[in-house]
Amino acid sequence: MSKTIIVSNRLPVKITEQDGQLSFKTSEGGLATGLGSVFQADAESLWIGWPGMEVPDEQEKNVTAQLNEQSLIPVYLSKEEITQYYEGFSNEVLWPVFHYMSTYARYENIYWDYYQQVNEKFKNALIAVAQPGDTIWIHDYQLLLLPGLIRAVLPEVTIGFFQHIPFPSYELFRLLPWRAELLNGMLGADLVGFHTYDDARHFLSSAARILQVQTASNNIQYNGRSIVVESFPMGIDNAKFEALIDNTQVKQNILNLRETFGNVHIILSIDRLDYSKGILQRLQAFDLFMQDHPEYKEKVSLYMIVVPSRDTVTQYRELRDEIDKLAGNINARYRTNNWSPVNYFYRSFPIENLSALFQFADVCLVTPMRDGMNLVCKEYVASRKNNDGVLILSEMAGASKELTDALIVNPNNVLQMSQAIVAALNMPLEEQTRRMKQMRELVSKYNVMHWVRVFIERLGEVKRMQQSLLTKYISQRTQQYMKNKYNRADKRLFLLDYDGTLVGFNNNIDQAKPDKELYHLLEELASDEKNKVVIISGRKHVTLEEWFGHLKIDLVGEHGVWHKVAGGKWEDLKGLTTEWKQHVHPILNAYTDRTPGSFIEEKTYSLVWHYRKAERGLGDLRASEMMNNLRYMMGDWGLQLLPGNKVVEIKNMEVNKGKAAQVYLHRYKFDFIMAIGDDITDEDMFKALKDEAITIKVNSNLSSAKYYLRDYKEVRNFLKLLSSKMFITKVLDRVMNWIPKSSFARRGR
């Protein structure tokens, strides 16, 4: 039976040692908290991860057995691996860059070496338990290489990847020396998920610009696979927090808080120690609030919990010291005998205490500088049984895209946060109820179970989509079918695009010349009297003549403007005009001046704006702008705008490859038709051909063509197989070997 395998840096349990004895307890991390409920509910799932400490060799067997009983598979890491892979690369390279604080990053090669090594360890652990049909769900930035490593070993397996922290813009991500390797790893997944649309957009941009992959909407074409990139805002275990409302211990904790604080309004702040959480700015905002509004003295207290984290790292230790100092200064300035403005705790709290605080606090202040989702704000909302209370939320938290009824603030704007505190304390109960009720409904509906279900369902949809597209890929079996059809035919037509189909894509259009191998292939195809070979290209007819005029093949240039039968003369399509060029040329010149690396190619009856040498992104932007400016002219002059692969062509509407192909269908009768192309211009040709024609798109499986091949090399190999007599011999040999020899003996009688 197929199963789901969750893979994360840490297991949902943590091993601790006391007096030589190992004990297990639940991890505090947001991922462990979020997925733990789902994992426990799914009897067919496994969870692979690090147990949280270095386990002595002699105890590994015993620990593994205990963890296996809970369907947990440990990956044991040495102290050195933890230091270099986890504390080093993950948290001193990826974490600061992904949180837009690149000045904290340390690009050490040894970190990278261990990061690769540990990802390999996780791969080995996964391969040991994975089976065909399993679904693998890999989590977070510590394991960015893992999807690609698994894909290389198990190419057919279903892999989802979800990143729980922000994904930075291209300008930040490009700082990483190992940026391409990290992207290659992530693109091993079938579905790549993030908390927000912005994160998904940044990832698509980085993949397109760094790896030069084709992207369309939220789809990436990579190594012959279609990978989907989407946002999936994570929820919380809402039922768990609602159940805590009636917990006896929680109720007692609320009574204790009420006894301690009386009628003092409580502003709650809960965060792990990290420079991305905006803790200092929050304290500064509260300080400004106390300074500007002395009337709230002895009436409001900030209840601040900072959970210890990585305080052995210099930046974190210094941050902790600054927090201690600032909290102390605020208390020193405003404290009275019976009241402290800041109640500061540097430790973790049990869930029963947190639930009590969520229910007791009048305001929850969640203002990270950058955050993936931030589940604390959702936990606060889920705990507000009476639909009161106010949430102040940073616009930099992923949750701000959902919890729009919170008071949204810029975490860098201390004055705005201070004013938000005043607004929260003075908000009428009716408005509190209206806002909180809507947020509670949202948090309840889009809980962690919903998040998991939507992601897994979407992963299944993506896999089915991939499989349906794979049926179009020309496998060996399909090749044999086509070869048999080829052999039976008496009159065959080959319509072949040139750039990207018979040769690779080249930034310099003059360098994409045919080579000896291509000449030999075309000569081989054309030597068969049953074959009519046509190169149908957007190239100038003079270029096609220079390159292919000596071959026994037909040539069609400029998408059908020019036509030459093998051995004949060039003829152009009658009735075309060039008057429009004088109006369009100045516009193209203006965009060429504004776009370094772009240039204009003039053909007999068309103009082409090339931007394959322009900066990625800028060229696409200018092309889009230019097409918007040109569209109003198209109808008046009977023109067509044709966006292609790093080109925009303006040509007569009557000209396209589909009409050029139909000329051959009207003149001759073929019982075998094959058309191959890689560009949007070839779609007209595919659509114009009869259903029985074999149409093949190159480098993309998103096409009206029936089949696809990955690149021009596969096209050449495929055409060689069709024209090769060796292929027939191999097929006959297989058939002869399959037929029992006894049948020949019987026939001999």
Quick one: angle between helices 146-153 and 179-186, nearest 10?
A: 60
pLDDT over 90 percentage in the chain: 71
pLDDT given for residue 727 in this prediction = 46
Task: Render pLDDT for 463-520 as a digit per residue (tens, 0 to 9).
Answer: 998 887 766 888 888 999 999 999 999 999 999 999 999 998 777 777 789 999 999 9
Superfamily of domain covering 476-505+512-573+656-724: HAD superfamily/HAD-like (3.40.50.1000)
Kindly give the parts of the chain with pLDDT less than 50.
726-736, 738-739, 741-749
Residue ranges of E strands in 657-744:
672-677, 694-698, 707-709
Q: Do domains 4-231 and 581-652 have the same CATH topology?
A: no
Q: Which CATH number fits domain 581-652: 3.20.20.140, 3.80.10.10, 3.30.70.1020, 3.10.250.10?
A: 3.30.70.1020
What are the extents of the domains in the chain?
4-231, 238-445, 476-505+512-573+656-724, 581-652
pLDDT given for residue 510 in this prediction = 74
Beta bridge partners of 536: 556
Q: Which residue has the tokens 């496998």?
A: 475
**b/e for 512-525, b at 16 or more Cβ within 10 A?**
bebeeebeebbebb
Tell me how crowded residue 562 is: count the other CB atoms within 10 A of its CB. 25
What whole-number distance in Å separates Cα of residue 4 and Cα of residue 543?
Answer: 56
CATH class of 238-445: alpha beta
Beta bridge partners of 339: 336
Q: Residue 552 class from Cβ within 10 Å (0-12 exposed, 13-18 middle, 19+ buried)?
A: middle
Show Cβ contacts of residue 117 under 8 Å, excluding neighbours closer than 6 positions: 81, 85
Nearest Cα residue to 675 out of 658, 663, 655: 658
What whole-number distance in Å separates Cα of residue 605 and Cα of residue 607?
Answer: 7
Show Cβ contacts of residue 8 under 8 Å, excluding neighbours closer than 6 positions: 31, 32, 35, 47, 48, 49, 138, 139, 140, 142, 143
Determine whether 497 is an active site residue: yes
Q: What value, to the nearest 5°, has the Cα angle with vertex 240 and ends 235 and 245?
A: 120
Q: Please give the structure tokens belonging to residue 680.
A: 């949007």
Q: Which one from 371, 497, 554, 678 is the annotated catalytic residue?
A: 497
Report CA dihedral (101, 107, 113, 118) to the nearest 10 degrees.
-10
Q: Which helix (H) or strand (E) holds 618?
A: helix 618-637
Nearest Cα residue to 538 out of 695, 651, 698: 651
* CA terminus-to-terminus distance, the chain: 53
Q: Please give the structure tokens belonging to residue 423.
A: 């607004």
Half-sphere exposure of 354 (CA within 13 A, CB side): 23
pTM of the complete model: 0.79
Nearest Cα residue to 648 out of 630, 635, 636: 630
**Largest alpha-carbon pair distance within the chain?**
118
> Which CATH number is 4-231 given?
3.40.50.2000
